[in-house]
Amino acid sequence: MTVKSEKNGYVYLIGAGPGDPGLITLKGRECIARAEVILYDYLAHKELLSFARPDAELIYAGKVGGAHNREQWQINEMLVEKAQQGKVVARLKGGDPFIFGRGGEECEALVEAGIPFEIVPGVTAAVGAAAYAGIPLTHRDFTTSVTFVTGHESSGKEVSGINWPQLSLGNGTLVFYMGMKNLAQITANLIVHGRPSQTPVALVRWGTRPEQDVLTGTLADIAGKAHQVGFKAPAVIIVGDVVRLRDKLRWFDARPLFGKRILVTRATDQAGVFSHLLEGYGAQVLECPTIVVTPPESFAALDEALHALNDYDWLIFTSVNGVKYFFERLFELGFDSRALGSCRVAAVGSKTSEALANHGIRPDLLPSGFHAEGLVEKFAEQGVAGQKALYPKADRARDVLPRGLAALGMEVVVPVAYRTAIPDSLSAEALEALEERRVDCVTFTSSSTVSNLATLLGENRLIHLLRGVAVASIGPVTSATCRELGLRVDLEPEKSTIEALTDAIVTQYSSH
């Protein structure tokens, strides 16, 4: 990569892939991260912009209301202008820049202006959409050739540049880009020039995305089928006998949660793991954080306890956040894990235990249940009268644990290690999906996620918007809160973990 030239302005033309942000190349992601200016297209997934540096200038160069936001000449001029200002520019284009991406035109403009540039290839729509639809573009039992064709030629052409007689002969696979508006003409031209009318055809809309839609037929009937169901762009048209393999090889849209929209209400910094698990089974996840986790208003009480760790017999953690904020503060005060000394550690939940393991600590006490009541029972078996415990907690944590341990004769100190607050508003995308009845399942991973959603929506509106939506609760305490608010709980796993909740959701929809 030419770092020296970047000082005087440099442009990267990056293929963003067909839709799935995971298909961006490592080099493409690296170039996005170093860019000072990013011009991105309609088909470039917005998640790719999360790789940009915080101060990067983001410029949308796609479509607004179906019309181009900027003409190609304007995009060319902007690339030149930004580079001449000494900026490192990333031009993020759907698919591959050099396959119907007009990347060649942009490069010509850069060459004429003397601007250095680099091409970062991407997965083109034909390859990505076909693979995710379970259609191999070549197969030795069907065909050994594939042709990419534009289905939307320049309006200035008086005569078509497509050689229909040549395309129509033989059995090679054809993939038409941007051809939905001309689907009837494309199929008619192929039939007229020799392709059998019963040749299989597949239309793949939003290929590689969770909302991918595939319609199959033949040259004779696909246009009519598409019109009947209102099949719209953006889509690629795949023509050839290889389409017959889709029924056998389809995998992406055969996953158990494909087509299901699932609302995840966890805090933003914790939603990722859960979302990725659900997406791995094909779900379209709508993240709608109902909790904001922040440091406490004052660290005074926690600091006092941290400076006196030797006075405690037990250190108790009931959440990953408790571990996170406890150790962050411990390190800020100049201590490390050795400061725990002979203090024994108790934890609730496997995730909490894993978070402790990251600090080299194995819990001395870990109940089989995933709630505070189970820990109280474990302590009762131990006999803890006269002992002292430190329980760094959330500001709104239940008092089950302190009360239960006090009843056993244990002294419990409970400094606030972190706060949980209600966000100012809900995700606009998630709220719109709820109002339009486009959510299949809502997940709750704590009582706070339920009660906070009720606060943000209002209890009556909560019940109204979740009518007909499956409610998945992580455990009995959360389920009790759901029922108190008038919700019916449809799913509750035996273990209160994200993995178990995911498995329960998959089982529910697989059985249907």
Confidence of residue 69 (pLDDT cuts 50, 70, 90): low
Please report the pLDDT score of residue 79 as a whole number.
95
Task: Answer whether CATH 3.40.50.10090 is correct for domain 295-419.
Answer: yes
Please report the pLDDT score of residue 101 as a whole number.
86
- Between 208 and 373, name the one with better pLDDT: 208
Please report the pLDDT score of residue 388 as a whole number.
95
Mean pLDDT confidence for 196-201: 97
Percent of the chain with pLDDT over 70: 95
- Does residue 473 surpass a pLDDT of 70? yes
Please report the pLDDT score of residue 372 as a whole number.
79
- Does residue 155 surpass a pLDDT of 80? no
Task: Please tell me which residue in 20, 78, 82, 178 is annotated as part of the active site.
Answer: 178
Active site annotation includes 495: no
Distance between CA atoms of 423 and 431, rounded to whole angstroms? 14
Sequence-distant (6+) residues with CB within 8 A of 266 are 274, 287, 289, 291, 443, 445, 449
- Does residue 72 surpass a pLDDT of 60? yes
SS (HEC) of 271-331: HHHHHHHHHHCCCEEEECCCCEEECCCCCHHHHHHHCCHHHCCEEEECCHHHHHHHHHHHH
Confidence of residue 2 (pLDDT cuts 50, 70, 90): very low
Task: Please tell me which residue in 20, 41, 96, 440 is annotated as part of the active site.
Answer: 41
- pLDDT single digits (tens) 76-119: 999 999 999 999 999 999 999 999 989 999 999 999 999 999 99
Mean pLDDT confidence for 109-131: 97
Mean pLDDT confidence for 152-157: 58
Please report the pLDDT score of residue 43 as a whole number.
80
Give the relative orientation of helices 372-382 and 400-407 as an angle to the nearest 10 degrees: 20
Give me the residue spans of the domains in the chain: 3-123, 127-253, 261-291+423-511, 295-419
Please report the pLDDT score of residue 4 as a whole number.
42
Instruction: Confirm whether 127-253 and 295-419 share one CATH topology.
Output: no
- Does residue 177 surpass a pLDDT of 90? yes
Percent of the chain with pLDDT over 90: 77
Q: CA–CA distance from 181 to each of 100, 185, 222, 434 (Å)?
A: 17, 9, 13, 32
- pLDDT single digits (tens) 423-455: 999 989 999 999 999 999 999 998 989 999 999
CATH code of the region 127-253: 3.30.950.10
CATH code of the region 3-123: 3.40.1010.10
Confidence of residue 15 (pLDDT cuts 50, 70, 90): very high
Mean pLDDT confidence for 227-248: 96
Please report the pLDDT score of residue 370 as a whole number.
67
- pLDDT single digits (tens) 266-294: 877 676 889 999 999 999 999 999 988 88
Mean pLDDT confidence for 195-199: 97
- Does residue 3 surpass a pLDDT of 70? no
Active site annotation includes 63: yes
Of 481, 470, 482, nearest to 511 by C-alpha is 470
Please report the pLDDT score of residue 433 as a whole number.
95
Let me know: does 104 contact 98? Beta carbons within 8 Å.
Answer: yes
- Does residue 148 surpass a pLDDT of 80? yes
Task: Answer whether CATH 3.40.50.10090 is correct for domain 261-291+423-511.
Answer: yes
**Mean pLDDT value across the chain:** 91
Please report the pLDDT score of residue 269 as a whole number.
67
Active site annotation includes 378: no
Task: Please tell me which residue in 1, 63, 181, 269 is annotated as part of the active site.
Answer: 63
The pTM of this model reads 0.79
Mean pLDDT confidence for 193-221: 96
Confidence of residue 373 (pLDDT cuts 50, 70, 90): confident
- pLDDT single digits (tens) 167-176: 998 899 999 9
Token digits of residue 145 = 């050739």
Among the residue ranges 194-208, 340-354, 477-491, the one predicted with the least confidence is 340-354
Mean pLDDT confidence for 188-203: 96
Confidence of residue 68 (pLDDT cuts 50, 70, 90): low
Distance between CA atoms of 246 and 412, rounded to whole angstroms? 62
CB burial readout 233-247, b (16+ within 10 A) else e? bbbbbbbbbbbebbe
Mean pLDDT confidence for 160-182: 91
Q: Which amino acid is at 164?
A: W
